[in-house]
């Protein structure tokens, strides 16, 4: 890459390249598996073109006993990806089924056989200035990277109620994963971290509990599992739906999807975040109120074991949630 000096940048800016081991060999873009370094985007298409960008966060988990790797809820994630694109009036050239197959192919091409994150992103690739973007082509890229699961490690987080209000369905719908929504999440996260917390919880315009910056939320009161309803201003979380089913079918618990008041969190027996990235993340305190004994609560712990075993295929049930990727 040649950098031409200008008045504003008299010295060429350093070219930062990732070390070989920092990235996988390949990614997939618009129909092709490409070597990492060749997947460039022109600078003029950045900015406005990503205003409507939507993404997914998907995982594949390995079974430590058999070595088999399972894609976790590929169909559900690519269905939501399609829903996110629909709300942005994007016209993808690939179906959810095709994108799920491509993800398996990419995992194999990159030789990822352990726990792996899969990140599809769709954006308006012809847009270089502010416009409705409806006539633009929709480009899609899929990136894979290994991750370390914190399931069943005992990790907990300190939480707080954010002063930032969650975006509403008539503003930037939190129902889908549009990049622009995450500015709202980011502001809340910055505030929480600067105030010494790990993860904020945002309220909606009506003052009811919604979710974390990138995760949904459950609380336990008197043995009942409670989570804010899907119309309270939360992402239609795939983990949330899976956990509701596991709570009912595996633990025999009552689950309520309803409005949740802020002070219910202060008197809850257990609270945990959930999501593809968050997996299950127990909350040790909220606004300095200790939750339970400050560790992983008993129902959270039981649910986490079931979830862990199901995603890794140790629990043989729920097989339609798992897609085989590689088998050792």
> 310 to each of 61, 75, 118, how far by Cα in Å?
10, 16, 19
d(CA 83, CA 124) in angstroms, rounded, equals 16
Instruction: Give φ, ψ of 273 to 5 degrees.
Output: -85, 155
For position 216 contacting ligand PMP by CB under 6 A, the verdict is: yes
Query: Could you tell me if 174 and 204 are in contact, meaning their C-beta atoms sit under 8 angstroms apart?
Result: no
For position 211 contacting ligand PMP by CB under 6 A, the verdict is: yes
Residue number, 158 or 240, with CB nearest to ligand PMP = 240
For position 204 contacting ligand PMP by CB under 6 A, the verdict is: no
The active-site residue out of 158, 177, 193, 305 is: 177
d(CA 146, CA 20) in angstroms, rounded, equals 14
Residue number, 172 or 216, with CB nearest to ligand PMP = 216
Residue number, 156 or 185, with CB nearest to ligand PMP = 185
Query: Could you tell me if 254 and 206 are in contact, meaning their C-beta atoms sit under 8 angstroms apart?
Result: no
For position 237 contacting ligand PMP by CB under 6 A, the verdict is: yes
Residue number, 127 or 203, with CB nearest to ligand PMP = 203
Which of residues 121, 176, 235, 291 is near ligand PMP by CB under 6 A?
A: 235
For position 238 contacting ligand PMP by CB under 6 A, the verdict is: yes
Min dist CB 66 to ligand PMP, Å, is: 25
Tell me the pairing of strands 224-228 and 255-258. Answer: parallel
Q: Which residues of 128-142 are buried (b: 16+ CB within 10 A; e: fewer)?
A: beeeebeebebbbbb
For position 88 contacting ligand PMP by CB under 6 A, the verdict is: no
Residue number, 57 or 168, with CB nearest to ligand PMP = 57
Which of residues 23, 30, 45, 57 is near ligand PMP by CB under 6 A?
A: 57
Which of residues 275, 282, 297, 313 is near ligand PMP by CB under 6 A?
A: 275
Determine the interface stretch with ligand PMP among 22-30, 95-103, 141-149, 274-282 (rule: CB under 6 A). 274-282
Min dist CB 213 to ligand PMP, Å, is: 6
d(CA 107, CA 60) in angstroms, rounded, equals 9
For position 168 contacting ligand PMP by CB under 6 A, the verdict is: no
**Four-CA torsion 277, 280, 282, 283, nearest 10 degrees:** 40
Query: Could you tell me if 166 and 210 are in contact, meaning their C-beta atoms sit under 8 angstroms apart?
Result: yes
Helix, strand, coil percentages (3-state) for the chain, rounded to 5, are: 30, 30, 45
Query: Could you tell me if 232 and 204 are in contact, meaning their C-beta atoms sit under 8 angstroms apart?
Result: yes
Instruction: Please say if 177 is a catalytic residue.
Output: yes
Determine the interface stretch with ligand PMP among 39-47, 83-91, 127-135, 209-217 (rule: CB under 6 A). 209-217
Which of residues 144, 215, 284, 300 is near ligand PMP by CB under 6 A?
A: 215
Which of residues 199, 239, 284, 285 is near ligand PMP by CB under 6 A?
A: 239
Would you name the residues annotated as active-site residues? 177
Contacts with ligand PMP, residue ranges (CB under 6 A): 57, 185, 211, 214-216, 235, 237-240, 275-277
């Amino acid at each position: 890459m040649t950098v031409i000096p200008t008045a504003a940048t008299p010295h060429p800016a350093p070219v930062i390249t990732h070390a070989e081991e920092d990235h996988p060999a390949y990614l997939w873009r618009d129909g092709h598996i490409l070597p990492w370094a060749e997947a460039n985007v022109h600078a003029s298409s950045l900015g406005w073109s990503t205003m409507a960008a939507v993404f997914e966060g998907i995982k594949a988990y390995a079974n430590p006993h058999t070595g088999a790797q399972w894609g976790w809820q590929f169909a559900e994630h690519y269905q939501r990806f399609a829903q996110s694109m629909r709300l942005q009036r994007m016209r993808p050239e690939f179906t959810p089924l095709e994108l799920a197959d491509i993800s398996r192919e990419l995992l194999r091409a990159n030789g990822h056989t352990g726990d792996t994150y899969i990140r599809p992103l769709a954006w308006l690739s012809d847009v270089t200035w502010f416009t409705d973007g409806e006539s633009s082509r929709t480009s899609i890229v899929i990136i894979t990277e290994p991750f370390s699961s914190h399931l069943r490690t005992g990790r907990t987080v300190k939480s707080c109620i954010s002063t930032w209000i969650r975006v509403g369905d008539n503003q930037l719908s939190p129902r889908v994963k549009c990049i622009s929504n995450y500015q709202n999440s980011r502001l809340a996260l910055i505030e929480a971290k600067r105030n010494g917390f790990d993860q904020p919880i945002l309220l909606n315009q009506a003052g009811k509990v919604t979710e974390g910056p990138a995760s949904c939320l459950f609380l336990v009161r008197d043995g009942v599992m409670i989570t804010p309803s899907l119309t309270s201003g939360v992402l239609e979380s795939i983990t949330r739906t899976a956990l509701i089913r596991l709570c009912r079918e595996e633990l025999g618990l009552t689950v309520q999807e309803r409005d949740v008041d802020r002070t219910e969190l202060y008197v809850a027996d257990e609270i945990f975040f959930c999501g593809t990235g968050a997996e299950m993340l127990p909350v040790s305190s909220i606004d300095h109120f200790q939750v339970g004994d400050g560790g992983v609560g008993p129902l959270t712990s039981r649910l986490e074991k079931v979830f862990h075993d199901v995603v890794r295929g140790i629990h043989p049930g729920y097989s339609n949630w798992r897609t085989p990727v590689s088998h050792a």
